[in-house]
Structures are given as C-alpha cells and as structure tokens.
Structure 1
Amino acid sequence: MTAQQKTKIIYAIPALLLGAAFLGNLFIEGFNWSFVDFMGAGLLLFGTAFLITMIVNSKRSLQNKILISGIIILILVLVWMELAVGIFGSPFAGS
C-alpha cells in the first residue's frame, strides 16, 4: 500500500463519520446538530486524521506509530465524550 493510499483511507474515515452524522441529523428525530456542531466535529476528526497521517509517514518504528496513534485516538474519544455529556465537568462540556 502506498503512502497516498494510506492517506486517502485515513481521511476517508472522518468523512464517512461526518456523512453518517449528517444523514442522522436529517432522518433521526432526536439527532439535533447545528452547523457549529458539525464544524467542531470536523475539526476534531480531521485534526486527528492529520496527526495520525503525520505519525504514519514518520520514520518511527511500527510499534511507536501504533502507540502514538492509539494515544491520539484516546484523546479524541475523551474530548468527544466531554463535549457530548460532560464526564469531567469542564466549562466547555455539553451538558
């Protein structure tokens, strides 16, 4: 697999997630995202994809790439959960 193919796959995942969220917003009654919500989600998802692309294209060992990518994804999940339901009670929590 070439670096260009890896990059396309990495950026396709957030695009598909945002597409699914958009369709959910159109057809599911309790799904109520505003434009700002989509922009925030896009920033988080594509920012994460950018960081992971940088890690994948680096000259680190495979083990380090997997570890650093896992940490980046864990941070994404924690920030997403905080924005969604406020598990840590920060000022920018969504609850």
Structure 2
Amino acid sequence: MTLEKQKTTIIFAVPALLMVTAFLGNLFVEGWNWSLSDFIIAAVLLFGTAFFINLVIRSRKTLISKLLVCFVILLVLALVWIELAVGIFGTPFGGS
C-alpha cells in the first residue's frame, strides 16, 4: 500500500512530466511555439488540478464520490484547456 506522501508525489509528478515534455517539444518539434506565458498558464492549470485532486483523495469521502469529483475536476481542466487552445465556447481569451 502506498503512503500518503507517495500518493502526493505521484499526483504532482504527472504535471511535472507533462511540463518537461512540453518544454522538450517546444525545443525540438517544428511548429511547436509556446511562449513563456503559455508555459505559465499550463503549469497553473496542471498543478492546480493536481492540487485539487490531491485534496479530494485525502478527504474522508467514499470512493465513488472521490472518483466522481476527480472526474469533474479533470473534465473542467479539459474544457478550459480546449477553450484556451481553440476557442470552442467563443470567449474573448479563446485561442485561434
């Protein structure tokens, strides 16, 4: 069984690996042109999501309610990310 500290490490390692992958992609992939603000926004979104998922996992709720809340958090992350990337909702800060 994993300890709480190990769970937290795993939860925050995922966004860190995604950020490293994005940084390497920005260096070596043609057409991948993220600015510093893109990296800051991605880090806030990914690490903020990890923080809230960590809070949910540490709560004393049932497994089903934890899974449901984590699913909603990940859904919100996906919708915000998609909106910032391509602007599916037509907000002023949507991409493209």
Q: Name structure 2 gaps, 5 residues minimum.
A: none
TM-score by length of 1: 0.98
Alignment of 1:1-95 (within 5 A): 1-95=2-96
Identity of aligned residues (%): 58
Paired letter, 2:4: A
Following TM superposition, by how much is the alpha carbon of 1:72 offset from its aligned partner in structure 2, in angstroms?
0.1
Following TM superposition, by how much is the alpha carbon of 1:94 offset from its aligned partner in structure 2, in angstroms?
1.2
Give the number of equivalent residue pairs.
95
Distance in 2 separating the partners of 1:3 and 1:57: 8
User: Residue by residue, what CA displacement relative to the aligned partner does 1:41-87 show, whole Å, maximum 9, x if unpaired?
Assistant: 00000000000000000000011100000000000000000000011
Residue aligned with 1:30, SS: coil
Distance in 2 separating the partners of 1:78 and 1:36: 19
Paired letter, 2:5: Q
Distance in 1 separating the partners of 2:59 and 2:10: 17
Distance in 2 separating the partners of 1:7 and 1:63: 20
Paired letter, 1:26: L
Paired letter, 2:80: V
Paired letter, 2:21: A
Q: CA RMSD in A?
A: 0.5
Distance in 1 separating the partners of 2:70 and 2:63: 10
